[in-house]
Chains A and B, each alone.
Chain A
Amino acid sequence: MALYIARRILWAGVVILVVLMIVFAVFYLLPASDPALRFAGKSPTPESLALIRDRLGLDEPWWKQYGIFVKNFVTGDEYGWPGLGYSFTSNVSVLSEVTERAPRTLFLILGAAIIWLVVGVSIGVLSAVKRQSAADRAAMGFVLIGISSPVFWLGLMALWVFWKKLGWTAGTGYVPLTENPTGFLSHMILPWCVLALLFAAIYARMTRNSLLDTLGEDYIRTARAKGLSERTVIFRHGLRASMAPIITMFGMDIALLVGGAIITESVFNIQGLGWLAIDGTLNQDLPTVVGVVMLGAVAVVVMNLIVDIGYAFLDPRVRYE
């Protein structure tokens, strides 16, 4: 087990290096114009250009630039760890912008993920166990609605109904948890539910299909033949074997959302990482964009690592491969 985890971590490290290489190539090497000019924002001065060239090593060969890029990211720069550089548009380090925005996105994802996992998996189990029943049909109807509703429309409708008409929740914006916990919840509950609905629908359908497949397996019949209760058969034997695709999806979904739950953040004006990336793009603030892209890419790698380790706990066969 320890060997398996160590190997996975090593691999994740290699993948991160490759990912950084691609990000570096996309933003430093591929564009034809002077990189310093693009990093300097809308109103470059000769001083800032010189500063950027010096800081990023732009006069050095490309592999040295990559070295500086990786070294800054891995060991941190003068603004802290991980080193993401300096935004010449907003005149703060990218890291400080990210640390300000990240909690919003992370709280959004965390809350939504809990809701969609609980709702999606329970609906999936219910409709698999009560297959062809009215409950199953209702659940699959819910799935259809969840998958087909666009998030921006759903978000606006939710705001209109629950904020404007009923006044049950707070409206758009974000209140930090530490300042005002009730305000935080009141602001987050709608974005959580709206973001979770789509995923809950997908997870419900996936859980249902996966569990139905598993329940047709011979070892489920063995479990029944042993005289185990139906609850044990479904939850202990069935659900465990059908969790693998769900865990894979879950890891990927979380990672992709870290890169920006952009639509949800926009509709509810949460101004998290997705907003930061968009804002950076519109203001030609390249360092910020690079920073968010790198974090998003690393999040994918890290979540994959967590999924792989999760697999090993779930399915002992994985450890021996």
Chain B
Amino acid sequence: MSETLLDVRGLTVAFPTHEGDVLAVSDLSYTLHRGETLGIVGESGSGKSVSSLALMGLLNQERTRISGEAMFGGRNLLSLSPEHMREIRGKDIAMIFQDPFACLHPMYRVGDQIAEAVTAHASVSKSKALDRAVELLDAVGIPKARDRAEGRLPSASCEYATRAAEIGPIDVINMRDNARLSATRARRPPVTTLRAAGAGRVCRRVAWRALQTGRQSIRAYAGSVRNSTKRSSSTISTRMAAASS
């Protein structure tokens, strides 16, 4: 059995409103081992993104209530201080968001934005970081990476660029029907994929492979797990919980 990378136990996310709490994720548990890919599938509002955002500490602390635990490298992600969480984000756990055009800052060059992720976690010079950014763009198959990184060519493949920016042991990849995605992909249901290190090259079909090959997937519905597939060596425990809303 391979090393456990992420162990989520009883993750519950609620948004307090004037009319009571809205339960977005209810008692979600799963385990991710090194080298695995986990797909979380579900319709809109089923809590795929929210559960992943909660792990990343990217939900507004004041407007959400998060409980449960998520052990990562011996630490509980859900109780880490903002500063410790910041060190993990973008280095150990990265997230690739679903709308690449909205996810890149419109006023900075793509290269600088990727380089920023490099300098945030390592003391390297700006030019070194930019070189690394170009390398990453190259690695995900962007032609003329340097020209695009330095703003001489438009950064057409923004999605690849965001993907290049986020490289760590765990990538959370958000995919869903989106007007900007290709026609073939638009027919597929939305999915959030957690990809652990060593699960293969980052590619846009990762989530689909995961589902089709059935390595490991969770089907989410209204904040709870409906069912999960358990194949190969992975284990996943499922706790059913009725959505209260």
Contacts and interface: CB of A to CB of B under 8 A. Distances in A.
A1 to B, nearest CB: 12
Contacts of A232: 116, 120
Contacts of A240: 107
B89 A226 contact: yes
B86 A229 contact: yes
A240 B106 CA distance: 10
B152 to A, nearest CB: 12
Interface in B105-119: 105-109, 113, 116-117
Given A226-B90, A241-B105, A314-B107, A218 B121 contact: no
B240 interface: no
Contacts of A230: 82, 86
A contact residues, range = 20 to 34
Contacts, number: 75
Given A228-B120, A237-B105, A221 B58 contact: yes
Contact of B97 (A221, A241, A314, A315): A221
B116 A241 contact: no
A222 B104 contact: yes
B27 interface: no
A225 B90 contact: yes
Nearest to A216: B60
B88 interface: yes
B122 to A, nearest CB: 11
A227 interface: yes
Interface string B36-79: 00000000000000000000101000100000000000000000
A217 interface: yes
Contact of B56 (A225, A228, A317): A225
A224 B58 contact: yes
B147 interface: no
A222 B103 contact: yes
B131 interface: no
Contacts of B95: 225
Given A219-B104, A225-B166, A316-B107, 10 more contacts: A222-B97, A222-B103, A222-B162, A225-B89, A226-B116, A227-B91, A227-B117, A229-B86, A229-B120, A237-B108
17 contacts: A132-B62, A218-B99, A219-B105, A219-B106, A222-B104, A222-B105, A223-B116, A224-B89, A226-B89, A226-B120, A227-B86, A227-B88, A227-B89, A228-B86, A230-B82, A237-B108, A316-B107
